[in-house]
Amino acid sequence: MIRRRKSVLALLTVGLACGAGAAVASIDVTRHEIVMRGNSFTPRDLTVDLGDTIVWKNVDIVRHNAVRAETFDTGELRTGDSNSWIPADTGTYRYRCTIHQRMRGTVTVATKP
Ligand SMILES: [Cu+2]
């Protein structure tokens, strides 16, 4: 299980995303990054807490996406692009890159202990 705890970057990202700014410092956000490189997701299996943000970032030289039907779709990401998803429910979510059929990953969402 790989976990990354909250960071200043996460708070900045949320602040920019909502554009409000005032109460940003009090938001408890954990941001997890999944890197797309070498036609694979790293980490391939990620466990997060409900309410966390998952970011896919493509650092590969080809386009990728991360898709789970009816749940999330990052859209095609070019080199350096990223997109995120905040799960609305717990569970195990298997997903794939629809461009490269063998490029797969899993996000497991659990409630905070
Ligand atoms: Cu791909």
The verdict on residue 2 lying in a domain is no
Arithmetic mean of pLDDT, 85-112: 96
Domain count within the chain: 1
The verdict on residue 103 lying in a domain is yes
Q: Ligand 1 centre from 97 Cα, in Å? A: 5
Q: Ligand 1 centre from 9 Cα, in Å? A: 26
* All residues with CB under 5 Å from ion ligand 1: 64, 97, 99-100, 103
User: Quick check: 19 pLDDT over 70?
Assistant: no
Arithmetic mean of pLDDT, 74-100: 98
Q: How far apart are CA 65 and CA 111, in angstroms?
A: 26
The verdict on residue 25 lying in a domain is yes
The verdict on residue 52 lying in a domain is yes
Amino acid at 102: R
Question: For the chain, how many helices (H) and strands (E)?
Answer: 1, 9
User: pLDDT at position 105, please?
Assistant: 98
Any idea what the CATH number is for the domain that residue 25 is in? 2.60.40.420
The verdict on residue 3 lying in a domain is no
User: Quick check: 27 pLDDT over 80?
Assistant: no
CB contact at 8 A, 4 and 32: yes
User: Quick check: 82 pLDDT over 70?
Assistant: yes
Q: Ligand 1 centre from 70 Cα, in Å? A: 19
CB contact at 8 A, 33 and 5: no
Q: Ligand 1 centre from 76 Cα, in Å? A: 9
